[in-house]
Amino acid sequence: MAKTTTLKSPGAFTLIELLVVIAIIALLMSIMAPALGLAKKHTQATVCRSNLRQWGIIWKIWFDDHNDGFGSGGNPRWFGPMIDYYKDRKILLCPSAKNSPFLNDPAAKLPSYYGDPGRKFKPWRVEYPFTSGDFFFGAYGLNLWCPWTIYKIGGRPPEFLWKTPNVKGAPEAPLLCDCTVNDVAPWHSDEPPQYDDEPFLRQPVNENEIKSVCINRHPGATINCLFLDFSTQKIGLKQLWETRWHRKWYTNEDGDIDHNPPVWPPWMKSFKEYNKN
């Protein structure tokens, strides 16, 4: 009886060859995953800066319509009165900070974000007008040293305020930036978070509010910022203490010079230094 020989089909893989290919692909994916993740973060940071550039145009139009002043009429929620200037609420959100189930279900019960962990990647939520059932979500905060509301609110002296974009220090004065709350008023004496993404408790007012912007949200330990001259740039976290949040930065309420950098906690020690002294 003739012996039958089974021939391997041209181009076919054996089981061992297939497993080797799968193993190689898995190895390549594990090597590439960090690079792909970093590329995604850089893309998100770029989109974030693009959002803030759009906000620069919006704020420029707002100032033109309000005689180069903030003209809020005392309303504490900047994003509400400005709604006719931007329409699409998506530009309130940094793409790195969309980690929230409430974006798809605004009516869901919302826990207090003051003190919650993971704030740097979560948007804030504010009902406006109050008790209206209309919720705004955002990831940018207004610098309250720009007097959107009445002078001296929260203990901010009038002489410390930026009252118009037409000032010498406008390129150094933050207007809007990455933030875990919708507005913020840093003091030069504020202390940094003691660990990455430390929960920010906003009580008492004006105490360590810089924590809400000292968030490791973008690559290189940076956040994005729109300045009062309508330019945008990224700011290193240590650079936040070298940025002129109010007109008398580095001075206390008595007018005395006070420009000592804070003691950096361990998680920030390796970050780039920006001290101008």
State mean pLDDT over 21-33. 74
Judge if pTM exceeds 0.75.
yes
Token readout for 268 is 């920030």
- For residue 66, the one-letter residue type is H
Angle at 188 between CA 244 and CA 137, to 5 degrees: 70
What's the sign of the alpha-carbon dihedral 190, 155, 184, 62? negative
Q: Where are the domains of the chain?
A: 16-268
> Which carries the bigger pLDDT value, residue 98 or residue 149?
98
57-74: pLDDT as tens digits: 999 999 999 888 887 655
pLDDT at residue 257, rounded to an integer = 66
**pLDDT, the chain, mean:** 81
CA neighbor of 86 nearest in space, from 64, 56, 113, 106: 56
Nearest to 144 by CA among 153, 133, 132, 135: 153
Residue 146 CA to residue 247 CA, distance in Å, equals: 10
Residues 6+ apart with CB under 8 A from 217: 94, 96, 97, 120, 121, 178, 223
User: How does residue 187 score in pLDDT terms, banded at 50, 70 and 90?
Assistant: confident
- The predicted-structure confidence for 124-182, as pLDDT tens digits, reads as follows 888 888 777 788 889 999 998 987 765 455 667 788 889 889 998 899 999 999 999 89
